[in-house]
Amino acid sequence: MADIASHETPSTSGKPIEKKNNDKKQTVLEKHGYALGKTIGNGSYATVRIANSNRHERQVAVKIVSKFHAPGDYLKKFLPREIEVVKGLKHPNLIRFLQAIETTHRVYIIMEYAPNGSLLDMIRRDTYIDERRSRRWFKQVLNGVEYCHNHGVVHRDIKCENLLMDQNLNLKLSDFGFARGQMIPKDGIPLLSETYCGSYAYASPEILRGIPYQPQLSDIWSVGIVLYAMVYGRLPFDDKHLAQLLKQVQSKVTFPKVPKVSYACRALISRILVPQRLRVKIRDIHEDNWVVDPVVSVQTSSTTRSFERFSDEIPKSSITEGEETTMDRMVHFKEQVQRTQGDR
């Protein structure tokens, strides 16, 4: 009986056709000076591989999107929007877009390669991040997000999985699959978004409620979740059930007793994880006492294990973790929001 997991069709030479397709992929990229290396991420319709670039004289990451497997809406709307958005962004705390190549069957997105994994990887390795490193990385995230907002771009999917580490352990924001441009306020009036996207655990109350929201303020909420995740090694809200999550995010955020985190850091988190009308702006976060003053961390050793850590149930990135795709998560999010609204 044939292996049910194998769907390769042998050719007359005895080699699977898939190998020929891989050769074609490599040939297309080689014409542009890229030599494909190992795979570092898989999704239902995209793969991420490392490549050596003659043109850039360094390693790069190549996101390979299959036109046969990707949803039509993604190919017609979201992928072009993502490419258009990232083309205009250049900041030390953003993964840099280098080139896009389109063929009959695939789209190749060439990006800066971050060799040291994600912030989530770092948290899982160290249990939690001490305040000294958390402050440094938080500032980097804040700078990248502020740059995006100043250029009219909202990310809408900020989370630990989408914050990557370069060779110098600097954080860079990646994955602009949910991003949207041209969101600069008009006549001082912020533009609202009605696309309910992202990951539950990092989503703001207004997104979970399914109401029009200011995406810049929603990004700030997600940045606050990232800070909490760094210093505590866990997420502040349980995202297993959307209805319960919605109740939690509309309540005052609570803090575990361990690890010990400074009052200044907890106060900042409390200024961020509040209703939209009360949420602190980025310019005010830059002036916050914890951000400005490099106080000595009061956290205990990372060997302390008596508190909840990240689990494998945390939402994972569509490409790097091989879970739901961007479109799958968007549809699922809409369905869950609508279902929760029906329960009220």
List, as residue ranges, the binding site for ATP.
63
Q: Which DSSP category does 46 fall into?
A: E
Token pair belonging to 266: 């907890």
For the chain, list the strands marked E by DSSP: 34-42, 46-53, 58-66, 97-102, 106-112, 163-165, 171-173
Asked about 157 being catalytic, the answer comes back as yes
SS3 315: coil
Distance CA 185, CA 161 (A): 29
Closest CA to 47 of 32, 25, 27, 31: 25
- Its sign, for the CA torsion 40, 200, 212, 187, is negative
Contacts of 307 by beta carbon, 8 Å cutoff, 6+ apart: 232, 233, 234, 256, 258, 259
Q: Which long-range contacts (CB under 8 A, 24 or more apart) does 285-289 make?
A: 285/142, 285/220, 286/142, 288/264, 289/264
Amino acid at the residue 16: P
Distance CA 288, CA 224 (A): 13
SS3 130: coil
CA of 140: how far to CAs of 30, 134, 145, 164, in Å? 34, 10, 9, 11
- Region at 175 (left for phi over 0; alpha for psi -120 to 50; beta for the rest): left
Annotated binding site: which residue ranges?
63
User: Taking CA 90 as the corner, what is the angle to CA 73 and CA 70, rounded to the nearest 5 degrees?
Assistant: 20
Closest CA to 297 of 263, 267, 264, 262: 262
Question: Could you say which of 157, 175, 219, 239 is catalytic?
Answer: 157
Catalytic residue numbers read: 157
